[in-house]
Structure 1
Amino acid sequence: MPLTITVTGASGFVGSHLCEALVEAGHTVRAMTRHPDTYDGAGEAVYGDVSDAESLGPALDGADAAYYLVHSLDREDFESADAKAARDFSAAAAKAGVRRIVYLGGLGREDQDLSAHLRSRREVEKLLGGDGVPVTVLRAAIVVGHGGISWEITRQLVDHLPAMVVPYWTSTKTQPIALADAVAYLVGVLEPAEAEGRVFEIGGPDVLTYAQMMQRASQVIKNRPLPMLVVPLLTPRLSSHWLAFVTDVDTETARNLIDSMSNEVVVTDDSIKTVVRRRLLTYDEAVRAAMAERERALADASTD
């Protein structure tokens, strides 16, 4: 049945596509943004900022459910900032009578020494439910789609460099998922009773190393191989400066992402398939879809 839903991060990479999908599914979407005056996406723009606790009540008032899609990777103190935001959001959602929160978190086994980024994601999972609102968690690795930070790093490296000297973390396994599939899963867990309060792992059909992701992307995008030389002494700090130099990702975000790339992030529990059934795009198909959307965005920008 149609619901009223508040989506945080509505103008972001995943949030903008999620808002469109929810509206298409017949729901009333309240697109929470710090800049409602300039919001031009799907749904009704409402002011809200997770770092401003007083703004959350009005943004959540009357909502049946809420999606939590925000994080603070571009800040050095992102762990404390994200924890406070999650606590405030939990309290505001409970006070507003929200019946379900859906959170997009990160993959990674509990028996690993998780990076600060992934530890923060797990802490947010717990804090969002601290005031009693059931939280459904989807844990993902890289979401492949135009505009996603992790995907943009891959695309820009492939686009800018004919060959690469790469650090040891490029041999870590990951399980990327297409943006369309991630959004379908987010929409799919909104209403089923069996999804309430559960943690699901989501990923595409391909398990790849970061090096293989770049090599496959090079074949799809440029139809050529991407020679690589692994240099074990290239530290995360040096790697982050290298990424910031070669791509348009800022150094702080790059550092926080790279810290997580030493953790294997693959699906170990596919129970999501019993709740949401769909054919998942392969990595190559996801790359083609991302590039097609980028071309459309560039074409639209050139006509403005």
Structure 2
Amino acid sequence: MKVLLAGANSYIGRMLIPFLLEKGYEIVCLVSDKKRFQEHNDFANGVTLISGDLLREQSIETLPADIEVAYYLVHSMAQSQDLAALEALSAYNFVHALDQTDCRQTILLSSLSHGNGQSKRVESRKHVEDILKEGKSALTILRATIIIGSGSISFEIIRDLTEKLPVITISGWINPPCQPIAISDVLTYLESVKLNEKTFNRSFDIGGPDILTFKEMILEYARIRQLKRRVITIPFLPSGILSYWLSRTNSFGYAATHNLASRLKGGTIMHEHAIQEIVPNRCLTYKESLLLAINHTPVKSNE
């Protein structure tokens, strides 16, 4: 089976490629720079590369007509005022190119959020969903919360903060409960919904079994690493100041930390569990996902 991957350079894209290759899929990656992709991806020789910048429709090479499934994993971390327009243009150009193929299903990984903490970003992603729905192929949307895996932004920020700071200061409004999910479970869902007609033109929340606050996630990491850490909550700390401070104390920039803080502020727990009826899967606990991430193990064992 031939699948198209847009967003191959994203964290999820990089993890999904070997996962699908191992299962025997033929993968076509839409990338803006073939040479850069080949230099930075260990599995570049196992996929077919199609050149194209989704913000410039004329640059997109013709996609293979026999693509059956397309993954849209394009997600901007930018804080530009033009974010919504750029994400909409990218989605529109993707749909226009994909509609020239025989693709039956598009799978979108989006953000799980039911709060008001990131209204502009939520509206932008909702607009992307609406654009993808206009395509010829059926759309399946998976909405994930905090993704825990070696290399994921959420995990790396938690690790950086906990490893470096004996006393960690966070804002009170980023402490609503969330439902972190292991990267291995995200990959399982992304693959398992493929060409499953029960998932066509539907959206699903996905998350792990534990409901935790950001403080609890930090302290669980500290327990595993046997680190003595104290977390202090400061009420009413502005999001911009918090994001700036976070970006100064870990390896990621302001945009990544601001995005994480915004998602935590809104609260990110599953409001429906329909995915379990279609794809029965015992998701890893937060502790189990942390242990895999700390040990740089990409996926859980099937044994």
Question: TM-score if structure 2 supplies the norm length?
Answer: 0.89
1:40 aligns with 2:20: no
How much has 1:75 moved relative to structure 2? 4.1
How much has 1:113 moved relative to structure 2? 6.4
Counterpart CA distance in 2 for 1:103 and 1:149 is 19
Counterpart CA distance in 2 for 1:118 and 1:83 is 13
How much has 1:154 moved relative to structure 2? 1.1
Q: Which amino acid aligns with 1:275?
A: I
| Corresponding residue to 1:134 among 106, 115, 138 | 138
- Call closer, same or farther: CA 1:100–1:166 in 2, change over 3 Å: same
Which residue matches 1:148?
Answer: 152
CA deviations over 1:138-175 (Å, ceiling 9, x no partner): 00001101111122111111111111121113311111
1:68 aligns with 2:66: no
Counterpart CA distance in 2 for 1:286 and 1:214 is 13
* SS of 2:108 mapped into structure 1: strand
Contact 1:60 1:98 in 2 (8 A): no
RMSD: 2.0
For residues 187-266 of structure 1, the aligned pairs below 5 Å read 187-220=191-224, 222-266=225-269
Q: Which amino acid aligns with 2:20?
A: L
Which residue matches 2:89?
Answer: 84
* SS of 1:173 mapped into structure 2: coil
* SS of 1:201 mapped into structure 2: strand
Q: Which amino acid aligns with 2:186?
A: A
Counterpart CA distance in 2 for 1:120 and 1:22 is 29
Counterpart CA distance in 2 for 1:229 and 1:112 is 24
Counterpart CA distance in 1 for 2:113 and 2:246 is 23
Q: Which amino acid aligns with 1:16?
A: R
Which residue matches 1:163?
Answer: 167
1:51 aligns with 2:49: no
Contact 1:139 1:199 in 2 (8 A): yes
* SS of 1:244 mapped into structure 2: helix
Which residue matches 2:26?
Answer: 28
1:186 aligns with 2:184: no
* SS of 1:108 mapped into structure 2: coil
| Corresponding residue to 1:288 among 286, 291, 296 | 291
Which residue matches 1:8?
Answer: 6
* Stretch deviating more after TM superposition (179-188 or 192-201): 192-201
Q: Which amino acid aligns with 1:40?
A: D
Q: Which amino acid aligns with 2:53?
A: D
| Corresponding residue to 2:102 among 90, 94, 97 | 97
Counterpart CA distance in 2 for 1:214 and 1:46 is 40
* SS of 1:58 mapped into structure 2: coil
Contact 1:174 1:264 in 2 (8 A): yes
How much has 1:30 moved relative to structure 2? 0.9
Counterpart CA distance in 1 for 2:24 and 2:55 is 30
Q: Which amino acid aligns with 1:252?
A: A
Q: Which amino acid aligns with 2:102?
A: G
Contact 1:167 1:239 in 2 (8 A): yes
CA deviations over 1:67-119 (Å, ceiling 9, x no partner): 0001111241322211111111112211223211000001123x756532222
Q: Which amino acid aligns with 2:42?
A: D
* SS of 1:269 mapped into structure 2: coil
Contact 1:108 1:266 in 2 (8 A): yes
Gaps spanning 5+ residues in structure 1: where? 296-304
Counterpart CA distance in 2 for 1:284 and 1:115 is 30
Q: Which amino acid aligns with 1:102?
A: I
Identity %: 28
Counterpart CA distance in 2 for 1:278 and 1:88 is 34
Counterpart CA distance in 2 for 1:253 and 1:81 is 18
Question: TM-score if structure 1 supplies the norm length?
Answer: 0.89
Counterpart CA distance in 1 for 2:297 and 2:188 is 20
CA deviations over 1:40-80 (Å, ceiling 9, x no partner): 32522332332222344524543111100011112413222
